[in-house]
Amino acid sequence: MSKPAISVENICKAYRIGLATKPESLKHHAQQFLRNPLGPLKNLRKFNEDYSDDAEDIYWALKDVSFDVQRGEVLGLIGRNGAGKSTLLKVLSRIVEPTSGRAVMRGRVSSLLEVGTGFHPELTGRENVYLNGAILGMRREEIKRKFDQIVEFSEVGKFLDTQVKRYSSGMYVRLAFSVAAHLDPEIMIVDEVLAVGDQAFQQKCLGKMNDVVKQGRTVVFVSHSMDAVASLCTTVIHMKKGRPSAKLSMEEGVRSYLDEASASDNLPLDKKPRSQSQPHDPIFHKLAIRSDAGESITVPAGGRVFFDVTMKNFADVPGNLTLGVGLSNSRGQRVVLFHTEYQQGRTFKGADEMTLTCEVPSLPLVPGSYSVDLVLGDGFTMVERVERAGAIEVIYDDYFGHGKLPNNKSTTLLLPCAWN
């Protein structure tokens, strides 16, 4: 039996709370120093060694994580926001150092935690391909050789010599993903970057990932999309509060995730767990769902529905912001997305408080429960995302006008058609 491609042994990662979000200030240090000149020395030692379990100001992002990944295995890491998935990927990518434990990676590793790391808006598409390629670890020769493939895959050929800041956000991520997709590693570490671009491009990305998998590469993959997990992964680890589950089969993993996801639905929106690209106070504060009958989470199939999304304290978030309301079915599959930019080409600026109302004139979904996800973006990346921010129950209504509706096993969308 050959050695596994990745061996992870008792990896722990602790953060002293406050350290991760607040850079230390000289003032604080000066005060500490005046109070106790030897203190800093003691603290340093403490920081390195004293991570006792019960210390109050210590947050364990990862606790005793051990597993092996065999060559050719595609491991999906799933779990709620804050479960430690991304931290684990960062440890395996050598971006952050574990507090204790050890991991061995056998083979050339590429990690893709964000599309377009190092992309510079002032540079042209062509220049960014070279720069980004080099940052991802490609040699100049290699980039030159693959350049045409990269451009072809990205579909932005015409704009290659245009500055990237003039790109639409779709073009930007397509080009960025294309560079990453042409890496040639033996081990690939991928955070949720497949959820970029439009549907067609996402399919293309999944296809490309499938190719990578077929070539026998080892992949560790984080995703919130159970669809992507189901179509790519051979095994799954479900992370909960920094601890991993045993290795599960794909079906077991998805079930375990959906069970956990439905458990925290009762929290008010501003308390719900969320993911953010930069640490920030919670932005999404309230989600009200209304139908023609008033505030209600039940909507007749094909009926009108309103989503009132209240956001607070985000005047400091720069850029042209977009808001998306997504509905996912009980299997975690995203069914529709109502988006300020895709549907209407509209963006907005940060504010202290703002309520946006999305009116959906008709919601032709098969009766069933759907969860409502909220995503605030700045055109390039997600700013804040709350999954299962709310829930909506689509109930039976005589949408087609003759009394019958398909069930949720046969379809998700109700679209009229004419048979002759």
| Residues lying near other proteins in the complex (CB under 8 A) | 2, 5, 15, 19-20, 23-27, 29, 48, 90-109, 111, 113-114, 117-118, 120, 122-123, 127, 130-131, 134-137, 139-140, 163, 186
Token code pair at residue 85: 């998935």
Nearer of residues 139 and 346 to other proteins, judged by Cβ: 139
CB of 108 to other proteins, least distance (A): 7
Q: Which pairs with CB-CB distance under 8 Å and at least 24 residues apart come from 342-348?
A: 342/198, 346/322, 347/320, 347/321, 347/322, 347/379, 348/320, 348/321, 348/322, 348/323
At its nearest, how many Å lie between other proteins and the CB of residue 150? Answer: 16
From the CB of 20, what's the least distance to other proteins, in Å?
A: 6
The H-or-E segment that residue 370 falls in is strand 368-377
Helix, strand or coil for residue 261? helix
- Identity of the residue, 136 or 261, whose beta carbon is nearer to other proteins in the bound complex: 136
DSSP 304: -
Give the integer Cα–Cα distance in Å for 250 and 236: 6
Closest CB 378 distance from other proteins, rounded Å: 14
Rounded to a whole number of angstroms, the minimum distance from the CB of residue 118 to other proteins is: 6
Q: Which is nearer to other proteins, 191 or 384 (CB)?
A: 191
The DSSP line for 22-69 is S---HHHHHHHHHH-TTHHHHHHHHHHH---TT-TTEEEEEEEEEEEE
Nearer to other proteins, 29 or 271 (CB): 29
Provide the minimum distance between the beta carbon of 74 and other proteins in the complex, in angstroms, as a whole number. 18
Helix (H, G, I), strand (E, B) or coil at 270: helix
**Residue closer to other proteins (CB basis): 196 or 299:** 196
